[in-house]
Amino acid sequence: MSEAFIHLDGVKKIYRTRGEEFLAVSEATFDVEQGELVSLVGPSGCGKTTLLKILAGLHGFDAGTVRIGSKAQPFNPARDIGMVFQQPLLLKWRRIVENVMLPTEILGIPYDVARKRAYELLDLVGLKGHEEKYPYELSGGMQQRASIARSLVHDPKLVLMDEPFGALDALTREKMNLELLRIWGESKKTIIFVTHGITEAVFLGSRVVVLTAGPAKMADNFEVDIPFPRTLDVRNTEKFGEYTRRIYRLLGME
Amino acid sequence: MSGSNEQLQRYALAVLSHLILIAAWHFFVVYGKVPKVVMPTPYDTLQALVTPNYRWFENIAATAIEIFGGFLIAAIFGILCALLFSWFRWLEMLAMPLLVSLNMIPKVALGPLMIVWFKYGIWPNTLMAFAICFFPIVLTTARGLREVEPDLLDLVRTLRGSRWQLFTKIQLPGALPYIFSGMKVAAILAVAGAIVGEFLGSERGLGYLMLQVQVTLDTAAMFMAVILITLLGGILYGIVLGLERYFVVKDARIR
């Protein structure tokens, strides 16, 4: 078997504040293949965001191994990570297309290439015709679409999403779930998606990694055997129910 | 378009309210038989402008230099200081508490000192305007530069963006609304600073003129001086507002 795109083994992270130690992540061991959409699900304090930041190279860790990329799948941490946060965090003073182009400016990608790509991506995320607007002219859901386009503009191999739909209303959230699956299908990116929504995690993920809190540790890692493309109806199937019950059980909420 | 129509209506109403005030003033004086020494009519006030020995132009110029000069120096140094603070944290930790303490000094109380140090003239008054403008600009600019979303910082860090890129693309444009908010406050204070300076000791300027005509009970000229001072402040405020409209996107402006 060839090497996985992402490989985590026994990753452990401890925060130290004023002499006190706090275990943020432990026993995180899982592989992610290229092109997978992996949901990281768990309650607050389970270390899912910390794990995401470790993957992004923003945090160090205290034990274990983290490897992204392999000989067959080279990975450049400076260029191959896209990030989406809970808030869209668009720059108010930039037009939507200019916001999407921000990473390309930092990486020094030529303007014309970047602009063309930004336009294509805004079309992909369903914002055609809004390119030259300012963020305040867009709804929350539309702003989050723009921030997804921004995470893709430099063509990264890995996109890290930290509860990207957590701040949206329930209806918009469902719509964005469908949109994300479509975008993922078309862009063929590897996505790691952090959420505390169990239904969302199962619905989106080709694989689900469950983290529990107190103490923080990885509790489960399973493949979701529901074929893509998925529609909202799959949530009513018996199989879907089994997956969500499995997670609820792990979180002690049965 | 209905948008521009509405705008026009708003301007019209704004002008109207000013005209109403002037009319009310006029009728109050005329029908209330208010003595001219107490309150002149708007027309009398305007007439004061043609009194030749008041050297209006020279006095307006002096006050304008103090207000605009003090403000400009404060804006330049204030923004520069805040930038240095954001680049060198130790400098901020060293100097910011001091600035906060110095800000507690009622700047007006420094007037007599300034006269001792710089004699009468335009300089001490410019300095007074500067002293009173400087703090709000430094404090708001420093705050604006500090307010960077931690997640945006992460975004730039994952892309291995430089400190300079973070500054030019996110920090500085993000601080602009704060800078303008500080400058708007400062624009109004600058006028007060310059005039108080002139009251305390000066040989030119509208504040100086007011003290002169007070002695001769030329109330109309005093009214005119107040109006001109207000106009100078209004012009400065308008310039700052115009620049803000040009540089800051509508949604980002701080009111």
Strand bridging mode A190-195 / A37-41: parallel
Its sign, for the CA torsion A109, A112, A115, A116, is: negative
Distance from CA of B248 to the nearest CA of A (A): 7
Please judge whether A106 and B161 are an interchain contact, meaning their C-beta atoms are less than 8 angstroms apart.
yes
Its sign, for the CA torsion A116, A122, A127, A128, is: positive
Please judge whether A93 and B154 are an interchain contact, meaning their C-beta atoms are less than 8 angstroms apart.
no
Q: Is B124 left (phi over 0), alpha (psi -120 to 50) or beta?
A: alpha
Distance from CA of A242 to the nearest CA of B (A): 35
Distance from CA of A147 to the nearest CA of B (A): 11
Task: Tell me the C-alpha distance between B146 and B83, whole Å.
Answer: 10
Residue B62 burial (CB count, 10 A):
25
Residue in B closest to A103 by C-alpha = B159
Q: Which of B145, A94, A59 is nearest to A105 (CA)?
A: A94
Question: What is the interface pTM, i.e. ipTM, of the complex?
Answer: 0.86
Size of interface A-B (CB pairs under 8 A): 61
**pLDDT digits over B189-243, tens only?**
999 999 999 998 888 899 999 999 989 889 999 999 999 999 999 999 999 999 9
Over 80: is that where the pLDDT of B3 sits? no
DSSP sequence for chain A: -PPPSEEEEEEEEEEEETTEEEEEEEEEEEEE-TT-EEEEE--TTSSHHHHHHHHTTSS--SEEEEEE--SSS---TTTSEEEE-SS----TTS-HHHHHTHHHHHHT--HHHHHHHHHHHHHHTT-TT-TTS-GGGS-HHHHHHHHHHHHHTT--SEEEEESTTTTS-HHHHHHHHHHHHHHHHHH--EEEEEES-HHHHHHH-SEEEEEETTTTEEEEEEE---PSSP-GGGGGSHHHHHHHHHHHHHTT--
Task: Tell me the C-alpha distance between A133 and B148, whole Å.
Answer: 23
Amino acid identity for residue B12 in this structure: A
Q: What is the mean pLDDT of each run of 10 residues along chain A (254 residues)?
A: 84 87 87 93 87 91 90 88 92 94 94 94 91 92 93 93 90 90 91 93 94 86 90 92 93 76
**pLDDT digits over A195-218, tens only?**
999 999 999 999 999 998 878 888
Between A3 and B166, name the one with better pLDDT: B166
Q: Which of A141, A187, A205 is nearest to A168 (CA)?
A: A141
Amino acid identity for residue B211 in this structure: L
pLDDT band at B249 (very low <50, low <70, confident <90, very high): confident
Q: Which chain A positions have a beta carbon within 8 Å of B160's beta carbon?
A: 77-78, 106
Over 90: is that where the pLDDT of B53 sits? no
Q: Are the C-beta atoms of residues A135 and A102 closer than 8 Å to each other?
A: no
Please judge whether B159 and A53 are an interchain contact, meaning their C-beta atoms are less than 8 angstroms apart.
no
Q: What pLDDT score does A207 carry?
A: 94
pLDDT band at B5 (very low <50, low <70, confident <90, very high): confident
Q: Are the C-beta atoms of residues A98 and A153 closer than 8 Å to each other?
A: no
Q: Are the C-beta atoms of residues B170 and B152 closer than 8 Å to each other?
A: yes
**Encoding tokens for residue A172?**
């918009």
Residue in B closest to A158 by C-alpha = B158
Please judge whether A87 and B149 are an interchain contact, meaning their C-beta atoms are less than 8 angstroms apart.
yes
